Structure 1
């Protein structure tokens, strides 16, 4: 999947995640909604739901909302990654771990 970049890693990983997801009406489905709305060819409901399932296990709702913004604004991910803010640094480490896990689970 060559459309994937580190800033939109979650969208690419959703197709390969084989975990149970939260109900679509759940307020914690920010990543799933952003993934589906991304208009990427690989962004199917099952893929996006899988990514959301991993996010539910690894990221807080606040972190999920932050990650969901990367689908609309990939540059924001770069800003967060390069930020000197302690919360951003901790978030980025968890976000990277989430991406790795989603990639492994969703294959």
Structure 2
């Protein structure tokens, strides 16, 4: 029972419960340099520049980067509008988070 409780606490500490979808995806990614501080900063920028729906859509890019390319090259107007918002988010995060 004690081992189970310790495992649950460690799992909870690995990704904060209050973390947003971008922060969780960032922390769970295998990208070098992904840290709690950096991923939290990126989430802050996402909260300021992307809707929750856009954030959930962008999370898929962490799992499958090719999806970003598909959206970027899409002829659909909705994809084009999302891509513009996503580019703004990326540029802002790069400036703000270093």
TM category (shorter chain) comes to 0.7 to 0.9
How far apart in 1 are the matches of 2:77 and 2:53? 15
Q: Corresponding residue for 1:59?
A: 50
Distance 1:42-1:98 versus aligned 2 partners, 3 A rule: same
How far apart in 2 are the matches of 1:42 and 1:78? 23
Greater per-residue helix proportion = 2
Q: Corresponding residue for 1:14?
A: none
Structure 1 unmatched ranges of 5 or more: 1-22
Q: How many residues align?
A: 83
Q: Corresponding residue for 2:66?
A: 75
Which of 19, 26, 33 does residue 35 from structure 1 map onto? 26
Q: Please report the RMSD computed on the Cα atoms of aligned residues, expressed in angstroms.
A: 1.3
- Greater Cα radius of gyration, structure 1 or 2: 2
Structure 2 unmatched ranges of 5 or more: 1-15
Correspondences of 1:18-33 after superposition (within 5 Å): 24-25=17-18, 29-33=20-24
